[in-house]
Amino acid sequence: MAGIKQVQRQTGVALWRQIADRIREAISSGVYDQTGMVPPETVLALQFGVNRHTVRSALAALAQEGIVRAVQGRGTLIERKERLNFPISRRTRFTDGLRDQARETHALLLGHAEEAADAEVARWLRVEQGTPVIRLETVRDADKRPVARGTSWFPAARFAGIGEIYRKTESITKAFAALGLSDYVRATTEITAAHADSGDIADLELTPGAVLLITKAMNTDLEGVPVQYSISRFAADRVQFTIEN
């Protein structure tokens, strides 16, 4: 079902990049699990109907990403292939959801600021436009590999100082708890996909043209009052979402 077929000539995206995407996808879906390595360059060139040099460019890009490692005389070994799963439900929590899948997770606070809610944030948090809100910019890692970058907004009146608490605890759940909110639930999640921009490429260690999964999510307290609105940008080749109904 996941067989690799010939690429068709396409303008605008370099052939080597298209091929790199195909191979990355094949690795991630376990096509080469038996051998633990990618087929020889000459074989790939034949499969894709391109020159061996073009395949080499693709493999060089994947090596740069740390997905494969070429060894002269032996072949090209697969270094990484896992895809993290994020269950999306009423009890969605970022770090908890990863507990069984990664040895080590980190949340880095890039910055935080207090500002006035714009129309979008006001709508999601159900406050007046212009109401003071706190914005947090974060990047989350799993096993030293960046997984998502996000921007979150909180009502400033209720969650004063959440930035510094988050920096120390590296957890929204813990930060909420420290501010007197012991429990919260995921109310709404919107999911889209897009290309990575230059900020994504930098923060998530992606390569140009990479694909992102983007969520816009709103959490409420147990009374249904919005406590957090966040936009998260996930590296699509490292994650999948699961919704259980």
Partner DNA sequence: TACGGTTGTCTATATCAATAGACATTTTCG
Partner DNA sequence: CGAAAATGTCTATTGATATAGACAACCGTA
User: Which positions lie near DNA, rule CB under 7 A?
Assistant: 11-12, 14-17, 38, 40-43, 50-51, 53-54, 56-57, 59, 70-76
Q: How far is CA 191 from CA 13, 84, 88, 137, 243, in A?
A: 25, 17, 11, 19, 12
Q: Which residue number, 165 or 215, has a Cβ lying nearer to its own copies?
A: 215
Q: Which residue number, 78 or 196, has a Cβ lying nearer to its own copies?
A: 196
Site for its own copies in 61-80 (CB under 8 A): 61
State the minimum distance, in angstroms, from the CB of residue 69 to DNA. 9
| Binding residue for its own copies, selected from 33, 96, 104, 118, defined by CB under 8 A | 118
State the minimum distance, in angstroms, from the CB of residue 119 to its own copies. 10
User: How much is the CA Rg of the chain, to the nearest whole Å?
Assistant: 21
State the minimum distance, in angstroms, from the CB of residue 164 to its own copies. 24
- Contacts of residue 98, defined as CB under 8 A and 6 or more positions apart, other chains included, come to 84, 86, 105, 142
Residue 189 touches which of its own copies, DNA, none (Cβ within 5-8 Å per kind): its own copies
Of 114, 108, 187, the residue nearest 150 (C-alpha): 108
- 3-class SS at 20? helix
Query: In the 3-class helix/strand/coil scheme, how is 162-210 assigned residue by residue?
Result: HHHHHHHHCCHHHHHHHCCCCCCEEEEEEEEEEECCHHHHHHCCCCCCC
Q: Does 193 bind its own copies (CB under 8 A)?
A: yes
Q: Does 108 bind its own copies (CB under 8 A)?
A: no
What is the identity of the amino acid at 112? H
Residues that bind its own copies (CB under 8 A): 1, 5, 7-8, 10-14, 16-18, 20-22, 25, 61, 83, 88-90, 92, 118, 120, 185-195, 197-198, 201, 207-209, 211-213, 236-237, 239-245
